[in-house]
Chain A
């Protein structure tokens, strides 16, 4: 049985001009331990798909199943990493990392112990007592990742986690994420608009069409050896994936701009 199943998920939003169907039909099967990247033009609803998987957002139609059970709300087996880290500025690093455990009623001593382990795992040892404002963007996102991992989820949902970082930090954070992921290979859903990032990290890349009524246009298996290093990027295979993905994404976007404006 697959770990996550998206069964014809449809997501719509109420706006001032009525209901907009952002995601038309999103269906996918994700196996346990798979690292999945979801890419698509901005506004295609890829983040909404992630929210639906977390249970923060209820699909207008269709269902998300985790281990066969329909998702009805946020659940213990899943944890989210947000685009801007979303840390509590009044809490220290370790207290932020312990936040999820705190909400779930884990005792102070135990949650702090877990938090410190994770702070170490994400390479922030020595910064336990720092405030988020004293950290760089990359460090803040390490805290965000540690906070999600602290509750030991089976599924890690990542919503453009490195989107706000500069290119160099972004790449090293990607490598860092892979290093952490190699430890226990949780199932990961990673939303990004970076093609290179998607290929570098994922086992499979789900490519979404532009919204409204977006859907998956391509499901590409990235057959590159693991553990991956930066050197993967210079290989010929990487370039093949890269051009295929950019044709799918930018080709479509070009086609869209030549369409007459209908809205």
Chain B
């Protein structure tokens, strides 16, 4: 009796979840769809200037053209490599620094002001200076992407460690555990969700960093393409390239979430 009621509540719960999911997809995707249709109709009716606004059909065609010509693959190769290097460096340094700052308050006192300085300073405004130092090309792009991406990685790792239940730390101390065990078995698993949220934020900022960097100093890549097409007044290809960046960002976010789910298993095994 009790069991059947449990099962039926679980089923009702699942059904509720599915319904919520459908609403989210229909409402979220529907709005974009309606927007695109309105945009297309406005262009077809001549209400807006196609030269300035392009149209959804043209934008999709533009993407296809980039795929067929191989431009997309080359751009993704260049931008992707810059992204990977920048994000890897930012992750390794950002998370280690954040963990250190969370555990050792003197390190935190020494470094925290600069993190917030970096956070609130318009890094992009320093770009001419960065180009002066690193020259045009990938190094400047990677540098600015690191600067943008590292802040949430540091801050989240630090806050993750700060928020570890002091009771759990006491348990490790009481059993005579050392600092390394404390880090591996309590601090990292406990701050894992917060760190991963930082990873996702940092990922998004690294994408922005790469695109904006290429826009100003790139010698290839998606951002460089956007700049090139804009100077040619090719509205359609600018939109197409932006669409590609958006899709890339979504795909990265999806990968990050999948990684997060897959790797949360290790917390129980360590």
Enumerate chain A interface residues (CB-CB to B < 8 A).
54, 56, 73-76, 79-80, 82, 84, 86, 88, 90-92, 95, 99-100, 102-104, 151
Q: Is the interface of B mostly helix, strand, loop or mixed?
A: helix
Q: In the bound complex, what is the Cα–Cα distance between A74 and B174 (angstroms)?
A: 5
What is the size, in residues, of chain B's interface with A at 8 Å between Cβ atoms? 19
Known: A84-B167, A86-B167, A103-B175. 19 other contacts (CB 8 A): A56-B170, A56-B173, A74-B173, A74-B176, A79-B174, A79-B175, A80-B170, A82-B171, A86-B170, A88-B185, A88-B186, A88-B189, A90-B190, A90-B267, A91-B267, A91-B268, A102-B185, A103-B181, A104-B175
- With a CB–CB cut-off of 8 A, which chain A residues contact B268? 90-92, 95
**Shortest distance from the beta carbon of A131 to any chain B beta carbon, whole Å:** 9
On B, residues with C-beta under 8 Å from A are 165, 167-168, 170-177, 181, 185-186, 189-190, 264, 267-268
A-B contact pairs, 22 of them (CB 8 A): A54-B174, A56-B173, A74-B173, A75-B176, A76-B176, A82-B170, A82-B171, A86-B168, A86-B170, A86-B171, A88-B189, A90-B189, A91-B267, A92-B268, A99-B175, A99-B185, A100-B175, A102-B185, A103-B176, A103-B185, A104-B175, A151-B175
Q: Check if B168 sits within 8 Å of A103, measured CB to CB.
A: no
Which residues of the other chain, B, contact A151 by a CB distance below 8 angstroms? 175
A256 to chain B, nearest CB (A): 30
User: In the bound complex, what is the Cα–Cα distance between A99 and B185 (angstroms)?
Assistant: 9
CB distance from B163 to the nearest CB of A (A): 13
A75 to B174, CA, bound (A): 8
A80 touches B174 (CB 8 A): yes
Q: How far is the CA of A88 from the CA of B189 in the complex (A)?
A: 9
**Which chain A residues lie closer than 8 Å to B186 at the CB level?**
88
Give chain B residues whose Cβ lies under 8 Å from the Cβ of A90. Answer: 189-190, 264, 267-268
Which residues of chain B are within 8 angstroms of A92 by Cβ–Cβ distance?
A: 268
Residues of A within 8 A of B167 (CB): 82, 84, 86
- B261 CB to closest chain A CB, in angstroms? 14
**Smallest CB-CB separation from B171: which chain A residue?**
A86
Give complex CA distance A100, B186 in Å.
12
Name the 6 nearest CB pairs between A and B, nearest first: A86-B167, A103-B177, A90-B267, A100-B175, A80-B174, A74-B176
Shortest CB distance B7–A (Å): 17
Q: Tell me the complex Cα distance, A75–B177, Å.
A: 10
